Chain A
């Protein structure tokens, strides 16, 4: 059962703006304007989730923490592609092995449905080789960074160096600000919020890296998010809260800076999906968030 079909459809149709339907998967596809979807996307409009993670969360078993079941869940909801990191990449030191497993796990799902985003930690010895392997050996579209879990600040010189190197390799750089609310973390794994302010001047300086900030809403204020967006970063919606939060974000930032990220399987996928419905976005805005902006990141001019 997808998200919409769980709701009372009659009530929904009576009350929801038609445009909001464009934010949903297969059951919603009929209402979605196809004109904005690029040719060749098939029967259903594209929907790209840029924020999923494979493997085991160390502190509890999660529904859908097996790759095949997660992919099945996302497909059922109408997602057509996902960008995947790995929990091993957060907690392990042997990131080369974690990234190789991630690449293989994604490859097994077939035809680029899951795009692997390997983890790189610029404070580890030999990190440049990890980055190079992500770009060359695994042909990844991007990498995922966990500065708070890996123990460095974004004003660290190694981070600036990483951004430049990622730009040279044409890698998208995903920066994960948080994984969970600091108030509910395991007492043995207390991790602070990320300070994202130093990222603004780095982006303005033009490192060449395309940056996506994930799970940022507990780390950054809306004004800082706006600065990041104006400096060229994209931000996902996984941790955006308040009623109508996505609509508010789009109005504060630019629509081309907001991407769909669910933070599944740590979060229920339906959270991000229903936020699109709650915000009653125009069809064009919904399309940009669901897929257009992510596709642009993959194919920069």
Chain B
């Protein structure tokens, strides 16, 4: 099996520089046979980053991936509360830079029309949009998106490709919310390795719409990889989830940029 991880951060490991942290993360990834990783957000996070903060975090990711061009893809971190700055970051990091996707976190719920210009621009650039989604029994943050929010956004942008990070974490609800939205892939990272999640995802949306990701370093590569390797699904479906689906989503922008994989 060849493994690409759709979701890691520069966190959970020591290191004074972005590249030092990514190097440590890749050492752990190596032990589990993970070939490539998608990395986003900087060394210090904030729920509602200012334009300067966005730029700094994206610079940190850019600096990290520059040291590991054969191993790491970068996604640009945007904040829909700062639309002009986010559009500028999208052009700087994706159109003119090395990044291949967009990361949206918890600054603003993603069903709101304010996100439409960002998604339209991302689709023009063929960049996949990865949106954090959670359904917390303890209550979401004010700007935290649910899978249903993402389904609404994705329905307005059928030409864009989306990744539902965490699939809501309460995955039985998240998968149901997203199953009729074909341009959204459900991603398995960032919640406990509860048995059955991958089997349900494959059953409900099909293996071609399921992605492995870890949320390392806050999460273990191991616990998240187990969701796929331990699932009662075919080896062919596992390979789709572990790499092939992500590769397919990234191929248009990689080809545009002339990046061979």
Contact = CB atoms under 8 A, between A and B. Distances in A.
Interface stretch (B83-91, B123-131, B193-201): B193-201
Interface in A142-181: 180-181
A63 B192 contact: no
Given A3-B230, A6-B1, A8-B33, A264 B195 contact: yes
A115 interface: no
Interface stretch (A42-50, A104-112, A221-229, A274-282): A274-282
A7 B1 contact: yes
Contacts of A270: 193, 225-226, 229-230
A6 B170 CA distance: 27
B220 interface: yes
A271 interface: yes
A241 B2 contact: no
B204 interface: no
B64 to A, nearest CB: 15
Contacts of B31: 15-17, 20, 277-278, 280
B113 interface: no
B186 to A, nearest CB: 15
B256 interface: no
A296 to B, nearest CB: 25
A62 interface: yes
Nearest to A182: B138
A61 interface: yes
A190 B137 CA distance: 8
Nearest to B224: A271
A62 B232 CA distance: 11
Contacts of B172: 60
Nearest to B13: A243
B155 interface: no
B195 A241 contact: no
A61 to B, nearest CB: 7
A241 B219 contact: yes
B97 interface: no
Contacts of A184: 135-137, 169-170, 191-192, 194
Interface residues of B, number: 45
A11 interface: yes
Interface residues of A, number: 46
Interface string B56-98: 0000000000000000000000000000000000000000000
A215 to B, nearest CB: 10
Contact of A3 (B28, B134, B229): B229
B182 to A, nearest CB: 26
Contacts of B180: none
A242 B217 CA distance: 5
B74 to A, nearest CB: 19
Q: Is the interface of A mostly helix, strand, loop or mixed?
A: loop
A275 B25 CA distance: 14
Contacts of A1: 235
Interface in A199-255: 239-245
B220 A275 contact: yes
Contacts of A7: 1, 3, 32-33, 229
Nearest to B223: A271
Contacts of A274: 32, 220-223, 225-226, 229
Given A60-B172, A266-B195, A243 B35 contact: no
B137 A183 contact: yes
Given A241-B219, A241-B223, A183 B194 contact: no
Contacts of B134: 183
A181 B191 CA distance: 8
A190 B134 CA distance: 17
Given A8-B1, A274-B226, A267 B193 contact: yes
27 contacts: A7-B32, A8-B1, A8-B2, A16-B31, A60-B196, A180-B192, A181-B192, A184-B137, A184-B194, A186-B137, A240-B220, A241-B219, A241-B223, A242-B217, A243-B13, A243-B28, A245-B220, A265-B195, A269-B226, A271-B226, A274-B32, A274-B220, A275-B222, A278-B31, A278-B220, A278-B221, A280-B31
| Leading 10 A-B pairs by shortest Cβ distance | A268-B230, A274-B222, A270-B226, A270-B230, A271-B226, A15-B30, A271-B193, A278-B222, A271-B223, A268-B226
Interface of A: 1, 3, 6-8, 11-12, 15-17, 20, 60-64, 180-187, 190, 239-245, 264-271, 273-275, 277-278, 280
Given A267-B226, A268-B194, 9 more contacts: A6-B1, A7-B3, A15-B30, A60-B172, A181-B191, A239-B192, A242-B12, A244-B28, A280-B31
Interface of B: 1-3, 12-13, 24-25, 28, 30-33, 35, 134-138, 169-170, 172, 191-196, 199, 216-223, 225-227, 229-232, 235, 238
